[in-house]
Structure 1
Amino acid sequence: MTAPRPVLLLLPGLLCDHAAWSGPAALLAAQAECRIPSWGKLDSIEAMAAHVLATVPEPRFALAGHSMGGRIALEIMRQAPQRVERLALLDTGYQPLAAGDAGERERAGRYALLAQAREQGMRAMGAAWAVGMVLPAQVGTPLFEAILDMIERSRPEQFDAQIHALLGRPDATALLAGIRCPTLLLCGREDRWSPLERHADMHEQIPGAVLEIIERSGHMTTMEAPHDVVRALLRWLDRKDSRAEGKETP
């Protein structure tokens, strides 16, 4: 009898929807039952994680989060680590809003984008904002237009809720050392939003984690380089869980 496909939750990031993960999900269809949640108007990372846990009936699942979705994945690990068979964190971070001037600059920058979205529309805001998401050569291409289409499908009130969630994001630093499931850290070489150095820091703190770098990609690895992302995810899905064998990950 053929073994059932594992459930793989693919968590999208800020102003992202199913399109952010559609390429990898299609390529992984034979290996996993891929599900992509949506966030609606949820306005905290904690509420988004609780939403995932409440709407997935299976007791255990594999979990991959991109950008803000990676922060939600870490919060799921905090709320219900026993349900996560394996964890993948893509182009993301783990630290809270910085204190002092740096935090205020982030806050002001995010709310300036929200004001632009309300005044000029989501697509106009995205046309300026999304330039930093991808390699410069991708700006103006069909890929870039697909990102703008995705941003335009969200409304300013959803943007407001997700900004609130990110500004209030929990500090996951203390969580990292306790992660014991097979863990993948993945980052685009040219990611200017969630740089490689941050993933290298997580790699040092999570026992047994694997760090994979996607060349010729910016922040939107799942759309810029879906085949490379899937190759990394397949290696991750094939990794044995040492806990299942009664051993601790070194």
Structure 2
Amino acid sequence: MKPVLMMLPGLMCDRTVWAPQIEALGDAVVTHVVDYEAATSITGMAEEVLRLAPASFAMTGHSMGGRVALEVLRMAPQRVERVALMDSGYRALADGETGEQEIAGRMRFVNLAKEKGMRVMGQEWLQGMVHPERRRDTQLCGDILDMIASKTPALFERQIKALIERPDATEVLRSVRCPTTFITGRQDTWSDVAQHQAMAALVPGSRLVVIEDAGHMSTMEQPEAVTQALRDFLFD
């Protein structure tokens, strides 16, 4: 029987992020990209995953989708056969000044989207999103900007609020018993290698795969390497 892979996109992302992997995995895997844009919290997004998923499934989450995957594991660990967390994190908003700075930084982009539109916001947001050399890749950057521009400022603000209010998943990671893989771009400055090493250390027997020459959008920046990592995750 083919494995069912629930694919959980990140902030302001959709099927575009996973398109190279969906095509490359082809008929070997049943893929389902979850649309949880109506949800107002990480928990609500996880509930939508569980509503759409079969009784037992594999799961991969990118960026915010990784946090959703961790919430799925908190809510229904018995249904998850294996999980891959990509370019993601696990801690709640920090207390004090650090947390306030994160909120201010996130809300600056929300306000920019409201004032100037999603594409203008995306052009600035993109600068920290991909490997510096990928910024010259007009096809890649155009695909990312088109995806962002297809969303609304209201959705952006809703998802930002969900991220600000994200639950801490430290104890979830400690409780994981299914095969687990962590994947991140070497040059991901938003969810760096050290953060993934810390997550992997909480899950005995887990695997860490670092994608070379890739930033936060590793699935699109280095699609072949990410596809191979997912094949290994699914079939090893």
Is the structural similarity TM-score above 0.5? Answer: yes
Residue 102 of structure 2 is aligned with which of 98, 101, 106? 106
Structure 2 partner of 1:28 = 25
| SS of match in other structure, 2:123 | helix
Measured against aligned partners, the alpha-carbon deviations of 1:167-216 in whole angstroms (never above 9, x if no partner) come to: 00000001112111110000100001000000000111101100000001
Q: List gaps (5 residues or longer) in structure 2.
A: none
* Aligned residue runs from structure 1 range 119-158, under 5 A: 119-140=115-136, 141-158=138-155
For residue 157 of structure 2, what is the amino acid of its counterpart?
D
Q: Is the 8 A contact 1:194 1:219 kept in 2?
A: yes
Identity percentage over the alignment? 46
Measured against aligned partners, the alpha-carbon deviations of 1:49-86 in whole angstroms (never above 9, x if no partner) come to: 00110122x10000000000000000000000011000
Give yes or no for the alignment of 1:87 onto 2:83: yes
Give yes or no for the alignment of 1:205 onto 2:202: yes
TM-score, normalised to structure 2, is: 0.98
| SS of match in other structure, 2:233 | helix
TM-score, normalised to structure 1, is: 0.92
Q: List gaps (5 residues or longer) in structure 1.
A: 240-250
Residue 236 of structure 1 is aligned with which of 199, 208, 233? 233
Structure 2 partner of 1:187 = 184
For residue 162 of structure 1, what is the amino acid of its counterpart?
Q
Q: Is the 8 A contact 1:41 1:162 kept in 2?
A: no
Q: Distance in 2 between matches of 1:157 and 1:41?
A: 11
Q: May I ask how many residue pairs the two structures share in their alignment? A: 235
Detail structure 1 runs of 4+ shifted over 4 Å in the superposition. Answer: none
Residue 45 of structure 1 is aligned with which of 28, 42, 50? 42
Which segment drifts farther, 69-78 or 29-38? 29-38
Q: Distance in 1 between matches of 2:97 and 2:183?
A: 29
The offset of 1:139, in angstroms, is 1.3
Give yes or no for the alignment of 1:61 onto 2:75: no
For residue 105 of structure 1, what is the amino acid of its counterpart?
Q
Q: Of Structure 1 and Structure 2, which has the larger fraction of its residues in helix?
A: 2
| SS of match in other structure, 2:58 | strand
- Give me the CA root mean square deviation: 0.8
Give yes or no for the alignment of 1:173 onto 2:170: yes
Q: Distance in 2 between matches of 1:226 and 1:138?
A: 13
Q: Distance in 2 between matches of 1:160 and 1:238?
A: 38
Q: Distance in 2 between matches of 1:172 and 1:183?
A: 15
Measured against aligned partners, the alpha-carbon deviations of 1:206-230 in whole angstroms (never above 9, x if no partner) come to: 0110000000100101110111011
Give yes or no for the alignment of 1:14 onto 2:14: no
Q: Distance in 2 between matches of 1:191 and 1:74?
A: 20
Between structure 1 and structure 2, the one with the greater Rg is 1
Give yes or no for the alignment of 1:116 onto 2:112: yes
